[in-house]
Amino acid sequence: MYKVRADFPILEQQVYGKPLVYLDNAATTQKPRAVIDAMAEEYYTVNANVHRGVHYLSQRATDLHEGSREAVRQFIHAVSTREIIFTRGTTESINLVAACFGEQFMHEGDEVIVSVMEHHSNIVPWQLLASRKGIKLRVIPMTDKGELELEAYEQLFNEHTRIVSVAHVSNVLGTVNPVQRIIQIAHAHGVPVLIDAAQSVPHLAVDVQQLDADFLAFSGHKIYGPTGIGVLYGKEEWLEKLPPYQGGGEMIGHVSFEHTTFNELPFKFEAGTPDFVGTTGLAAALHYVEQIGIDEIAAYETSLTDYALQQLRTIPDMRIIGEAPERGAVISFLVGDIHPFDMGTLLDRLGIAVRTGHHCAQPLMQRLGIEGTLRASFSFYNTMEEVDALVAAVRRVSQMF
């Protein structure tokens, strides 16, 4: 794995005279040269608006853009490119489902099931819907280890349940939720499921058909692609039934002042000029990940995370937040009563980039009875030596307090 580091020029730099140890991959990943080059190349040689042009460049840009959609389809094993909608990211994908599914299928008194460990982007869109339509949020609880309580989950279903929306992997606890089981249970009640795959698609193989997910969202920038591009997967049968999200060019069939018809899938949900250079970057990123192999990535990151957990636990007063056996490449922790912000600031001075705070999961922090954590999150380009550097720095900083 170590040889891939050469593909990420940003990792070579020093900060404050120390080698940069970038462990904030759950927030965003670095971009390999292949992604940056593919985007630069498109701007240098192809740039033209997609879909509507008869001219050469526009057709090439369209081919690239639609080719990227096919790359996404293959990566998550969707049946058809009609099921792949480009959005700005996970947040917009979830907002789209909340708005369109909510508009079509939810009425006052109806319920959405989310979990206690959701990112704000899988809570607030449903709350906005709640204030518009009078729907209710029901919350799956978790154990102290950070595992969702499936029996309690089943108890939440009733005749008002319309949709379930849960994270595949928690961005705080690292827990890999049993989404296949969660989907089976929902389907047994005739309820569709949206999976927030922001933290799973970059780290483990995700197959929407095998999962039988109805909707699934992820962000390009967390899987080595550019910012501002993301994906909403939706089963065709569901997407066909939903109204459009935003109005504008591209999403229409025919417009007159009397009556407008809408475009076919997936364009019905893609108003305006799409980020066609972003989609090229995303496809290059997925291609890059495929070349390394998602299973190899998962295995390597698991060994890195296991090693980090083992080493961090040797530090006095270390508290790992999230002890689920099934976990991804995210470790949240606290040391004694040291404030995460103070520790994070001092780690930064030692060249270690970690995240501190509530990680956009304040309800989860409330459940845990804490204000925030430090969070180290790994990628395949991180090394065992970087884990050692993290552990040594945490030990050193904790001795200072």
For ligand PMP, which is the closer residue by CB, 7 or 24? Answer: 24
x-or-dash string of contact with ligand PMP, 244-263, rule CB under 6 A: --------------------
257 token code pair: 């002042």
Using the structure block, give the residue that is written with the tokens 């192999």.
293
Written as one letter, the residue type at 96 is L
Exactly one of 360, 365, 370, 384 is catalytic; name it: 360
Whole-number minimum distance, CB 47 to ligand PMP, in Å?
Answer: 25
Cα distances (angstroms) measured from residue 372 to each of 190, 333, 391: 37, 9, 19
Question: Of 91, 161, 177, 382, which lies in the binding site for ligand PMP, with binding defined by CB under 6 A?
Answer: 91
Active site residue 360: yes
Q: Residue 280, interface with ligand PMP (CB under 6 A)?
A: no
Query: In whole angstroms, what is the distance from residue 288 CA to residue 292 CA?
Result: 7
The sign of the torsion formed by the CA atoms of 139, 366, 93, 39 equals: negative
Question: Of 50, 73, 89, 378, which lies in the binding site for ligand PMP, with binding defined by CB under 6 A?
Answer: 89
For ligand PMP, which is the closer residue by CB, 51 or 375? Answer: 375
Q: What are phi and psi of 255, to 5 degrees?
A: -120, 130
Query: In whole angstroms, what is the distance from residue 344 CA to residue 14 CA?
Result: 17
Burial of residue 127 (number of CB atoms within 10 Å: 0-12, 13-18, 19+) = middle
Whole-number minimum distance, CB 368 to ligand PMP, in Å?
Answer: 16
Question: Of 25, 161, 165, 171, which lies in the binding site for ligand PMP, with binding defined by CB under 6 A?
Answer: 171
Q: Is the peptide bond before 192 cis (omega within 30 degrees of 0)?
A: no
Residues within window 349-378 making contact with ligand PMP, judged by CB under 6 A: 360
Q: Residue 121, interface with ligand PMP (CB under 6 A)?
A: yes
Q: Residue 182, interface with ligand PMP (CB under 6 A)?
A: no
Q: Residue 90, interface with ligand PMP (CB under 6 A)?
A: yes
Contact status, residue 305 vs residue 328, Cβ threshold 8 Å: yes
Written as one letter, the residue type at 87 is T
For ligand PMP, which is the closer residue by CB, 198 or 312? Answer: 198
Q: Residue 198, interface with ligand PMP (CB under 6 A)?
A: yes
Whole-number minimum distance, CB 270 to ligand PMP, in Å?
Answer: 17
Give SS3 for 327: strand
**Can you say how many angstroms the Cα of residue 30 is from the centroid of all Cα atoms in its chain?**
15
* Binding-site ranges for ligand PMP (CB under 6 A): 26, 89-91, 119, 121, 167, 171, 196, 198-199, 219, 360
Known catalytic residues are 360
